[in-house]
């Protein structure tokens, strides 16, 4: 108890000093800036203060506030922190084997913040991730949107809404991953029927809640699963839907129309077969690019061309790592391979940043370098689409969370002995002062 008391005091102290440090404006000058919102700037300046972006523009057009710390970033590339719309770092575990639909489970209750996976995440330049439970269920639980601020507990990483609640979506899946022995569905028809039944129950639950009733006894008792689904029905919680095959993709769209929920299609391996239909439905796609097709029947037609085909059809596209399917440290590679297979440079870079932010309803705060947005950015050694580019620094809310020059950060960026171990707990204050 006292130990925790001391530690929180120390944390408050640290946060306090960090906040004070952030009040001093910082100006990164002479960099090639890719703001995502607007054209690339060949020699540009980025000014941040208090965790927010103050200004961004060409060197000669940005006024640097008096007293600002100036950082020469000539020869470097600065772009927004990367947004990964689908990530599994942190040793997480969502729904269990007891049933196919478990919207009451929150992934935020399962996160090991000390997992080295998070160190790889920031080493890859990811500043915001949608941490998701797996795809072995029709619904495996609530996802959580995290800022990679660094922290000892998960609540330090939340992105909170205006009411102070952690933000997140709902993970759903169809196709073969979520088909198992009973009580799980054994066919696609059954999968959809189970989902429809559950949403109909949620509709009824919501109606009961809304019914003007003088008798509080007639209100339904609290049901955590129903509460989460009601948030989905009301558009407050977006469904992040794993789906591969073209017909499964269309099933997701059909169900989202029936119940009016907002959905982001994830993986979308055969999205290229129904690109026009996805565009017509106005549904965004978060896609993954991997080194080869196959590994499962539904991914046999997974091609690198998907991004370009969806882009040309007018579909909003983001990339995701699906870490550990692909390593967060290699996230930039997704955009580069997308370009190799026909995406435009602008859309590919947007797909690493702003498009993802839009899919998480966070585009007013993150995803581009614009005055007023959160100071989440990365500094690269070379063009982001080059294999030779290194993430040199990652900044979140105006604080540096990764620096390739720091040996321990570098260890997690390139790997090596000890890189796979959990981060050591922070015990300095206890060791030095003892409990009081």
Partner 1 sequence: MKRHLSACFSLLVFAFAAAPAFSQVAVRGKTVYTMGGAAIENGVVVIRDGKIAEVGPADQVAVPAGFRVLEGAVVTPGLVDAHSVVGLTGIYNQPHDQDQLERSAPIQPELRAIDAFNTQEALLEYIRGFGITTVHTGHAPGELISGQTCVVKTIGNTLADALLLEPAAVAATIGSDARKNEKKSPGTRGKMSAMLREQFIKAQEYAHKLETAADDKKPDRDLKLEVLARVLKGEVPLMVSADRAQDIASALRLREEFGFKLILDSAAEAYLLIEQIKATGVPVIVHASMVRAYGDRKNMSFETAAKLHEAGIMIALQSGYEDYVPKTRVALFEAAIAAANGLSFEEALATITIDAARIVGVADRVGSLEPGKDGDVAIYDGDPFEYATHCVGVIIDGQVVSTSPR
Residue 153: left if φ>0, alpha if ψ -120 to 50, beta else—which one? beta
37 versus 419: smaller Cβ distance to partner 1: 419
How would you class 60 by CB atoms within 10 Å of its CB: exposed for 0-12, middle for 13-18, buried for 19 or more?
exposed
Tell me if 346 contacts partner 1 by CB under 8 A.
no
Q: Are 79 and 384 in contact (CB under 8 A)?
A: yes
Tell me if 293 contacts partner 1 by CB under 8 A.
yes
The single-letter DSSP state of residue 101 is: B
Tell me if 295 contacts partner 1 by CB under 8 A.
yes
Tell me if 386 contacts partner 1 by CB under 8 A.
yes
Give min distance, CB of 91 to partner 1, in A. 10
Nearest-angstrom CA–CA distance, 26 and 23: 9
Give min distance, CB of 405 to partner 1, in A. 16
Q: Which of 85, 77, 31, 23 is nearest to 50 (CA)?
A: 23
Give min distance, CB of 400 to partner 1, in A. 22
Which residue bears the tokens 């040793």?
A: 91
Tell me if 3 contacts partner 1 by CB under 8 A.
no
Binder of partner 1 out of 388, 407, 431, 435 (CB under 8 A): 388
102 versus 286: smaller Cβ distance to partner 1: 286
Tell me if 423 contacts partner 1 by CB under 8 A.
no
Nearest-angstrom CA–CA distance, 160 and 181: 38
| Backbone φ and ψ of 285, nearest 5° | -125, 130
| Distance of alpha carbon 173 from the chain centroid | 17
Binder of partner 1 out of 33, 34, 337, 401 (CB under 8 A): 337
3-class DSSP state of 408: helix
Binder of partner 1 out of 333, 350, 373, 404 (CB under 8 A): 333
Give min distance, CB of 296 to partner 1, in A. 6
Q: Contacts with partner 1: how many residues (CB under 8 A)?
A: 36
45 versus 321: smaller Cβ distance to partner 1: 321
Helix-helix angle 188-210:224-233, to 10 degrees: 90
Binder of partner 1 out of 418, 426, 427, 433 (CB under 8 A): 418
Tell me if 417 contacts partner 1 by CB under 8 A.
yes
3-class DSSP state of 23: helix
Give min distance, CB of 416 to partner 1, in A. 4
Give min distance, CB of 300 to partner 1, in A. 6
7 versus 345: smaller Cβ distance to partner 1: 345
Give min distance, CB of 110 to partner 1, in A. 18
Q: Are 26 and 49 in contact (CB under 8 A)?
A: yes
Binder of partner 1 out of 13, 193, 414, 427 (CB under 8 A): 414
Tell me if 387 contacts partner 1 by CB under 8 A.
yes
Number of Cβ within 10 Å of residue 286's Cβ equals 27
Binding mask 312-331 for partner 1 (x = CB under 8 A): ------------xxxx--x-
| Backbone φ and ψ of 80, nearest 5° | -60, 150
230 versus 336: smaller Cβ distance to partner 1: 336
Which residue bears the tokens 């620094």?
A: 393
Nearest-angstrom CA–CA distance, 240 and 226: 17
Distances (CA, A) of 33 to 46, 58, 79, 128, 168: 8, 9, 6, 20, 30
298 versus 376: smaller Cβ distance to partner 1: 298
Tokens of 165: 């609640």
Give min distance, CB of 180 to partner 1, in A. 17
Tell me if 336 contacts partner 1 by CB under 8 A.
yes
The single-letter DSSP state of residue 80 is: E
Binding mask 243-282 for partner 1 (x = CB under 8 A): ----------------------------------------
Say which residues have a Cβ less than 8 Å from residue 324's Cβ, sequence separation at least 6.
88, 89, 117
The single-letter DSSP state of residue 154 is: G
Give min distance, CB of 242 to partner 1, in A. 12
279 versus 419: smaller Cβ distance to partner 1: 419
65 versus 293: smaller Cβ distance to partner 1: 293
Tokens of 355: 């498009």
3-class DSSP state of 267: strand
Contacts with partner 1 by CB under 8 A lie at 116, 120, 290-297, 299-300, 302, 324-327, 330, 333, 336-337, 339-340, 385-388, 390, 414-421
């Amino acid at each position: 108890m006292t130990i925790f008391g001391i530690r929180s005091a120390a944390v408050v102290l640290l946060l306090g000093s960090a906040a004070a440090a952030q009040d001093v404006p910082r100006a990164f000058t002479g960099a090639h800036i890719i703001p995502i919102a607007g054209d690339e700037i060949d020699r540009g300046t980025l000014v941040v203060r208090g965790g927010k972006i103050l200004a961004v523009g060409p060197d000669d057009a940005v006024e640097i506030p008096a007293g600002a710390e100036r950082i020469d970033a000539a020869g470097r590339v600065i772009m927004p922190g990367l947004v990964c719309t689908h990530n599994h770092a942190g040793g997480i575990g969502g729904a269990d084997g007891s049933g196919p639909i478990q919207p009451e489970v929150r992934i935020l209750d399962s996160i090991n913040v000390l997992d080295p996976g998070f160190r790889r995440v920031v080493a890859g330049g990811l500043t915001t991730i949608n941490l998701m439970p797996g795809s072995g269920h029709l619904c495996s639980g609530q996802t959580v949107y995290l800022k990679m601020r660094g922290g000892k507990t998960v609540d330090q990483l939340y992105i909170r809404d205006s009411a102070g609640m952690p933000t997140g979506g709902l993970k759903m899946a169809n196709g073969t991953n979520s088909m198992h022995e009973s009580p799980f569905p054994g066919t696609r028809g059954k999968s959809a029927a189970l989902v429809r039944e559950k949403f109909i129950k949620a509709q009824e639950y919501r109606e009961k809640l809304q019914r003007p009733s003088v008798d509080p006894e007639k209100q339904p008792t609290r049901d955590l699963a129903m509460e989460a689904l009601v948030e989905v029905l009301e558009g407050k919680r977006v469904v992040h839907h794993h789906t591969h095959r073209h017909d499964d993709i269309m099933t997701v769209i059909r169900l989202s129309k029936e119940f009016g929920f907002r959905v982001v299609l994830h993986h979308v391996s055969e999205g290229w077969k129904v690109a026009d239909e996805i565009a017509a439905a106005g549904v965004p796609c978060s896609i993954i690019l991997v080194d080869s097709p196959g590994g499962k029947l539904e991914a046999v037609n997974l091609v690198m061309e998907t991004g370009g085909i969806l882009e040309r059809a007018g579909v909003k596209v983001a990339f995701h790592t699906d870490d550990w399917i692909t390593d967060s440290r290699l996230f930039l590679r997704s955009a580069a391979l997308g370009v190799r297979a026909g995406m435009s440079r602008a859309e590919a870079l947007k797909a690493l940043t702003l498009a993802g932010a839009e899919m998480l309803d966070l585009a007013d705060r993150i995803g581009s370098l614009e005055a007023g947005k959160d100071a989440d950015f990365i500094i690269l050694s070379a063009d982001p689409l080059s294999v030779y580019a290194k993430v040199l620094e990652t900044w979140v809310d105006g604080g540096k969370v990764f620096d390739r020059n720091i040996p321990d950060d570098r260890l997690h960026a390139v790997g090596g002995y000890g890189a796979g171990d959990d981060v050591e707990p922070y015990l300095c204050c206890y060791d030095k002062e003892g409990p009081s």
